[in-house]
Structure 1
Amino acid sequence: MTALIRGIQAVSLWSGRIAALLLLPLVFAMVYEVVSRYVFDAPTQWAFEVSYMMMGTIFLFGLSYALRNNAHVNVDFIHAHLPRRLVGMIDCIAFVAMTGLLVWLTMTLADGVIRTYRTGEGSGLSAWNPLVWPFRLIYALGFGLFALQMGGKVLEALLVILGRPLPPLSGDITVDEKAGAA
């Protein structure tokens, strides 16, 4: 089970790295738009849509990475005052519920991808009017990766319940470690 969890964590790590790399083209596109608009008085037709699609992609691909590193909002005062196995049980129930919800959401989003691909739907937000199915595909992939990492968290909680908690990730600094260093 540990190998499966570590495999899921590796996928989430790469998802986060891809999200981080996408910041560079987003910054380039925004700088290009600002220079084009204010220096040459020639705004682009695509900057708005590229910016929200790129930022959305960064956000969606960062979801699983944030969960992997325990960077999402957490009610720590509850966890701090309960026995570890009870915390594992609470986490397991919450993660199972969230995994089910995320799987359903991913499947619904995948249906939307297929529908928009078949109809050739455009965004309708600018003169550029790009097809929306690629961005809808990113929605489905992002939430699918989030569901996968949530499933990994279910397995981690099960290990805590069984009294065999997963050792911390080596080489990665988690939010908990950053807070302790401050």
Structure 2
Amino acid sequence: MLRTLERVTDAAAVIGVILIIPLILAMVYEVMSRYLFSAPTFWAYELGYMMMGAIFMLGMAHALKVRQHVTVDVLHGNLPPRGKALVNVIGYCFFIPCVAWLTWGLWGYLVRAYVSSEGTGQSAWNPQIWPYRVVLVVGFAVFLLQVLIEFAKNLQALFASDATDSRS
């Protein structure tokens, strides 16, 4: 079941990777337009930060899945597998409510932007911000899902008869 749920994380990461291509194309267009034709675009800055933010948010859960987030290994690295699992479970007990709270807060942030038709206010383009905030909510929701999956994996490792998977 956990592997099935992790497909959501994988799908979000693939979407994030695919977004790199239009980001590169938009930035190349902006640079060429600006420096070759002295005609900068009015949308490149906002499109750039929105796409880069989307790439980051959609890849955050995958980074957790493949253990690419920063960890402090001074104590953790020297623990046996069950010790690592215990430390991780305790850490996730504090981390899960924080990520859930942030996800819920971002949902309210999205709804307010949608209801008020809020624009970005960053350039003459001034697109509505709610589509970008959808990506923030989805990214954090997928991250929360992956945190819960990692919590479950560590619980399994903690209570397994042969604790060989440290989930560090």
| TM superposition score normalised by structure 1 | 0.86
Are the equivalent residues in 1 in contact too, given 2:109–2:133 (CA < 8 A)?
yes
> Are 1:58 and 2:55 counterparts?
yes
CA deviation after TM superposition for structure 1 residue 166, in Å: 8.4
| Alignment equivalent of 1:78, drawn from 75, 78, 83 | 75
Matches within 5 A, 1:1-182: 3=1, 5-163=2-160
Q: Distance in 2 between matches of 1:165 and 1:121?
A: 51
Are the equivalent residues in 2 in contact too, given 1:12–1:149 (CA < 8 A)?
yes
Work out the number of aligned pairs and report it: 166
Where do 5+ consecutive residues of structure 1 fail to align? 169-175, 177-182
CA deviation after TM superposition for structure 1 residue 150, in Å: 0.3
What is the Cα-based RMSD across aligned positions, in Å?
1.8
Secondary structure of the structure 2 residue equivalent to 1:22: helix
Q: Distance in 1 between matches of 2:154 and 2:16?
A: 27
Q: 1:166 to 1:149 in 2, by over 3 A?
A: farther
Encode CA deviations 1:117-140: one digit per residue, 9 max, x unaligned: 000010111000000011111111
CA deviation after TM superposition for structure 1 residue 19, in Å: 0.8
CA deviation after TM superposition for structure 1 residue 15, in Å: 1.2
| TM superposition score normalised by structure 2 | 0.93
Structure 1 runs (4+) deviating above 4 angstroms are: 164-168
2:71 partner amino acid: N
Are the equivalent residues in 2 in contact too, given 1:96–1:151 (CA < 8 A)?
no
Are the equivalent residues in 2 in contact too, given 1:106–1:144 (CA < 8 A)?
yes
Identity of aligned residues (%): 39
Where do 5+ consecutive residues of structure 2 fail to align? none
Q: Distance in 1 between matches of 2:74 and 2:46?
A: 41
Deviates more, 1:139-148 or 1:43-52: 139-148
Q: Distance in 1 between matches of 2:78 and 2:91?
A: 18
Q: Distance in 1 between matches of 2:114 and 2:121?
A: 15
2:121 partner amino acid: G
Are the equivalent residues in 1 in contact too, given 2:81–2:163 (CA < 8 A)?
no
